[in-house]
Structure 1
Amino acid sequence: MKPEHVVSAESGGDSVAAVLGETTQPAYQLSADGDIAWWNEQFASVVGYTDEELSQLDAPDLFSTDAWDRFEARLTGSDETTYWTDKIDMVRKDGEQCTHHHTTSLSRNGDGETLTGIVSVADEDLPRAELLKTVQLATDRVIAAKTREEIEHALCETLGNAGLYRAVWVGEERDGRLEAVAAAGPETVSVDAFAGEWTSADEARPALVTAQTGRISTIRDIPNSEHPDGPREFTADHGFHAGCSVPLVADGMIYGVLTSYTDTSDRYGQLEETLLTQLGRVAGLAIGSVQTERLMLSQPRIELELRLKSDTVPVVRFAKETGATGEREGMTQEENGTTVQYYTIEGAAPERIVTEMENTDNVRSARVVDADANLYEVRFAESAAGMLLAAGAETRRIELDPDGVTIVATAPEGTDVREILDRIREIYPETELRAKRTLSERGRRDQPAWPDSTELTDKQTEMVEAAFEAGYFEWPRDVTAEDLAERLDISAATLHYHLRRAQRQLVEAYLD
């Protein structure tokens, strides 16, 4: 049967055991006499054998002659290489040869040398550019979403419609079970049915394990795995061969699980797992943000208006020089404290804007997201918005004009405003408190008084009318933002930009 422990080693044994204990990649250990000393479930899935069958095999049964000759030379010392990465040919149970990158190293124990290998089963064949583009698009949509439901559907629709996955779904843990709340892809209906296949086996369900532990779960070659017959047969019938579940997590809070399935077993290498994990963190932060906003709006609030005019801040100085104007569109916060903010800035060349942002001491990086929509991403090591958030306040608006920067935030009654100002002035010494207002209950009038004009631009009016007529505001939507943007012959980012600004002005008109 499958060995219970990683082979220990006098040199580097603890670190080897730690790596093998954490990796979700296929891994194995070989001894100099050709024994397969240890393997994990992922390795068994790649070669198509059960644990019982693997325990009866020797290394030359699994590896090509050339591969085993190289392994043997290093195990016996005739080749003194101790660490290397190379393409290795293996022979599966069905007789087919599979080739993957193996990262291997040597360590010594009481019985001699042990070779440890970790297999990268997917990244070399992965359409990297397409995956990176899809994950970035999903990130942008998650950030633009206004509710938890929109965030969950944005994840599924973006990944599920990209052609990279057989199915994608988001689940939330309820009473010890995981329930699907959003799904997309060619096999959407099958995903819901798949959830029903797990009854008494629910405790072993990888997605549920992820929901309870916050750790990624990856299964390759699902039809030949050791999971219950019902789910295995169901996945085989519907073309699910590999699956990966990542947590939607932020600040230790697990909000749900994002699960995807592919129609091939050789997927979910290190790059893909890393990108999906990062996407799960962004979604977790976004969900936490909208829930915090909902809670904040239910409590008595004060409104603070801050003004920053110092020429020592590069972005303020450059706005004065160029006449540039801008507005923050959204923000997320990463686990290390970095705040990622999105701005629309007009009146200056994109290269100049990025350069001035990056010249600011507290900015880690800046990039153009969509030049047509004048949309930029700025990553702050420290920021006024981040400090306001840490103090329990929420930044409602940040605007850049040729005279400086205006920040409007709301905070619970009783907030120590002086403490907030002192913290912000550590970064921006000349920050001024322009106004402090107590907010009354808003938006609860029996007959809301609308102004005669909402002051929408012609372009905003055109976008809102087109979106309404196309069913964009329906739930579920009758048309995606991409399809609507294509009809209007503009980019999706430009459409989002105009709709967000129009919606904000309409809501402000309703609440004022």
Structure 2
Amino acid sequence: MASRQDLAAATLETLPITIAVIDDDGEIRLTNRSWREFAPESEDHLGVDYVATAATADDEHATRAVAGIERVLDGDQESFEMEYPCHSPTEKRWFMMRASRFRDGDERLVSIVHVEITERKLAEIAAEENAQQVRDERQALEHVLERVDGLVRDVTDAAVGAETRGEIEREVCARLTETDPYALAWIGRADVTNRRLSPQEWASEGDVSLEDDELVIGTDERHPAIRAFEDGDPHVIQDLDAFDDADRWWPAEAGEHVRSIIALPLTYGEITYGVLVVFAADPEAFDERERFVLESLAETIATAMNALEVRRMLTTETVVSMAVSLEDPSLFVTALSTAVDATITYRGVTYDADGTPLVFLHADRELDAASVQNAFANGRDVEILSETESDTVLEVEAEDGLVTALSEYGGVIQELTVTDGVADLVLELPDGRSARSAYDLLERRYDRVELDSYHETEEPTRTRKDIVTRLESSLTDRQLMALRKAYYANYFEWPRDISGEELAASMDISRSTYHQHLRTAQRKLLDELLE
């Protein structure tokens, strides 16, 4: 059976830590296998002055180790412990050294133990880095919150307190560029006539300039402002240097002042008032948090613009007149004009008892029932109200047609004539916002839409719309339908194109009942005009 000393020596050899024993003179008296394998250039280092060898190393960690070991050798302290790096060319490593004094009989010895602590050290470093990252993020968040709180308050105050839309645009741009890291801000409006998106108001810090080129709606899809305006979503360029078309819109020296760009639509409901474009001095400036703040600001700006627009509508008498040309065979008046080879003119609209719109159309030649029905093969209800050798008046059900769609934006059709596949439409709308929305609707629905004219004018104090509204409120649905049918079917012309019996039949009522509705409606109309 092995002696206790032999067992201890064998155990020492198997330990996965490097161990050496030195005497009072610092010479190595014993090493284990881990020690020898760690430094294979010398088999065991026996007889080597460990302290003197370590003292020759030009290393702060070696200097600390020597000082600690000497204090243990001198009896000033029982043990000494330190951690130190020992990196190789291929990996990072850390060790802990512990020197402990002990006696073997009358001889004083010191054990030197080196334990690898790389895994623990890496975990500590990772934990510290994470903690530092959290501290940095907290500090950055506090800074952002402080900056954002002031920015949101300033922009909101500017938007809500403004008296005009131009003042909103001017104040918002100024407040944005007073806040780091923003260097330039502009708000653009759309010119529906010329299809341009142009800066209306702008502000900058330093020598930052606006775009060099015009922005064309429907053409310059690469520009973030056009993209934001057309699809209704924010668009970001995080690094201007990497943007292929940068030289087209921004001068070369712009890169010295701005590095990233965000464009945000100013949208309230279905109305887009324009685009807010913000430039930052640093790349990657518009992270998710920054975008969220700016999107909220854009909503606030659009809401303020809408409030001003509503207030203006309530206090002023303005109207927009817009002329548009449409080419699309799916438009039902265009399909009818093509099918019957006639010029079709819109006369007006009324509503049946179920609220279904009934549109009255005039054709410049006599039409037969068969050709009319063939033109409406989709099943749309159509009726010939009157016809002569030179013209025909039709009544067409238009539940989902152009007339009802435009009425949702307050649009009133003043003229609509279709010839040779082209529909010439003149609309009256209550304001520019409604005009823009109506035009967008036409563009979405039809193949080719061309704006021919756009005018905003002041109406007299008592508008035609006021008269119509008052009249409609005083008439029953049947009285109003009787009046409109008679007018649109040329009942008041001489000679008449249609009789009272035919109009009564179109409403499925007796001739006497029809005339009673018509006379009542005429009297109320005269009351409205003459009293």
TM-score between the two structures when normalised by the length of structure 1: 0.33
Q: Based on CA coordinates, which of the two structures has the bigger radius of gyration? A: 2
TM-score between the two structures when normalised by the length of structure 2: 0.32
